[in-house]
Amino acid sequence: MNKKVIPVNLITGFLGVGKTTALMNLLADKPADEYWAIVVNEFGEVGIDGATLASAGDGLQVAEVPGGCICCTTSPMLRVTLGKLARGIRPDRLLIEPSGLGHPAGIVDLLRDPMLASAFDVRAVVSLLDPRHLEDQRYTLHETWRDQLQLADVLVINKCDIADEEQIARAEAMGVALFPPKLAVVRAIKGRFAPELLELELHPERWPTIDSAALENTHARAHGAYSPTAQRSPMLQSAAAARESEPVVWPICKTQSSLGSHSCGWIFSPETLFSSSKVADLFAAMSQAETLGVQGISRGKGIFNTERDWYRFDWVDGMTSAAPAAYRRDSRFEVIVEAEQAPDWRLLTEVLLATQIK
């Protein structure tokens, strides 16, 4: 029986942002000896994108799920399609293009379902963004548009040939400022970005340092300098090899001190489940920071996979808030303290660990 685990990437973005063109470029650069599969979902009943992608050449299987959104109303159809892929000749890679109107977080949840997780490995989620949309409230106030950006591990600012530099710079600044941070924010023209971005290390925090210059090669390729025969970036090569050879040890903990401020962050596997009420109590306790063994908390934020759903929690100026979150890469919590000396984080760590559901 074929037990090969299938790496999966979601290629998301709002209607008309260039997802199908980006997929065509990825297929053009696909290694000739690899067999890939694509699941494409169109909101209408008549499939167009699937027919376009199917013409990309040999070594490709295209499955269409038309009429609705595979993130919600037709999710049983997606489960059936994924089951067929797992039982057949497993592809070397699966790309999923949800409808531009879909909430793709549900697809990630489905892929991590115990019935499917043994066959599929969720890799970087790529979201395409038209920078001109940041000036249009039809997009910026649209829940799905915001969720697609929040879910993304890699943000591709597309259509840079028809947007002006101010619009592009604004989109880049927004992407860099998002929490949790993106693995990469790159520019693209006509949906062309480096295929290596599909294989970025999902948890670079576990390494001592990250060289931001290591993505210069992929940035150049996204602007048209990419050649499928070019040598692969050493950083990306080592990241892919590390993922295969060295499993992540959870939780990841990182501390930092600078200019009188100190931060501590914890990162948990996406499968770790937290009690929403206990997490809410933890954030409420920040208003009496001494009960957590620290003083001078200025900011607290986190995203947690709870028994209810994924939620983002925030604490600032004594006020706590919580809202549903589309992010799915991991659960994480970060606290920033203003003090002369770095605090002892042990008690806060114990309280945090106690919010987990055993």
**Mean of the per-residue pLDDT values for the chain?**
84
Q: Do 167 and 136 meet the contact criterion of CB atoms below 8 Å apart?
A: no
Let me know whether 77 and 166 are in one domain. yes
**Encoded amino acid at 154, one letter:** V
pLDDT category of residue 77 using cuts at 50, 70 and 90: confident
Let me know whether 173 and 297 are in one domain. no
Structure tokens at 326: 């589309």
Whether residue 1 is contained in a domain is answered as no
Closest by CA position to 297, among listed 282, 318, 278: 318
pLDDT category of residue 230 using cuts at 50, 70 and 90: very low
Let me know whether 137 and 278 are in one domain. no
Whether residue 198 is contained in a domain is answered as yes
CATH number at residue 91: 3.40.50.300
Cα distances (angstroms) measured from residue 197 to each of 26, 30, 50, 51, 127: 11, 13, 23, 26, 12
CATH number at residue 347: 3.30.1220.10
Residue 250 has what pLDDT? 95
Q: What whole-number percentage of the chain has pLDDT above 90?
A: 65
CA distance 126 to 147: 13
Closest by CA position to 232, among listed 257, 215, 247, 209: 215
Let me know whether 52 and 96 are in one domain. yes
Let me know whether 13 and 69 are in one domain. yes
**Bridge partners for 336 per DSSP:** 263, 299
CA distance 217 to 215: 5
Mean pLDDT of 273-301: 96
Let me know whether 168 and 79 are in one domain. yes
Whether residue 45 is contained in a domain is answered as yes
Among residues 245, 262, 277, which one ends one of the domains? 245
Let me know whether 226 and 258 are in one domain. no
In sequence order, which residues have a C-beta less than 8 Å from that of residue 169 and are 6 or more positions away?
A: none
Mean pLDDT of 43-69: 53
Whether residue 32 is contained in a domain is answered as yes
Whether residue 178 is contained in a domain is answered as yes
Whether residue 181 is contained in a domain is answered as yes
Let me know whether 205 and 276 are in one domain. no
Structure tokens at 143: 């829940």
Let me know whether 336 and 200 are in one domain. no
Whether residue 358 is contained in a domain is answered as no
Chain segment 84-132, per-residue pLDDT in tens: 889 988 999 999 998 766 678 989 999 999 999 999 999 999 999 999 9
Among residues 195, 215, 245, which one ends one of the domains? 245
**Is pLDDT above 80 for 221?**
no
Chain segment 142-194, per-residue pLDDT in tens: 999 999 999 999 999 999 999 999 999 999 999 999 999 999 999 999 999 99
Whether residue 296 is contained in a domain is answered as yes
Residue 224 has what pLDDT? 39
Distance, CA of 10 to chain centre: 9
Q: Do β-strands 154-157 and 6-13 pair in parallel, antiparallel, or remain unpaired?
A: unpaired
Domain that holds residue 289: 252-353
For the chain, what is the domain count?
A: 2
More confident residue, 74 or 182: 182
Let me know whether 262 and 294 are in one domain. yes
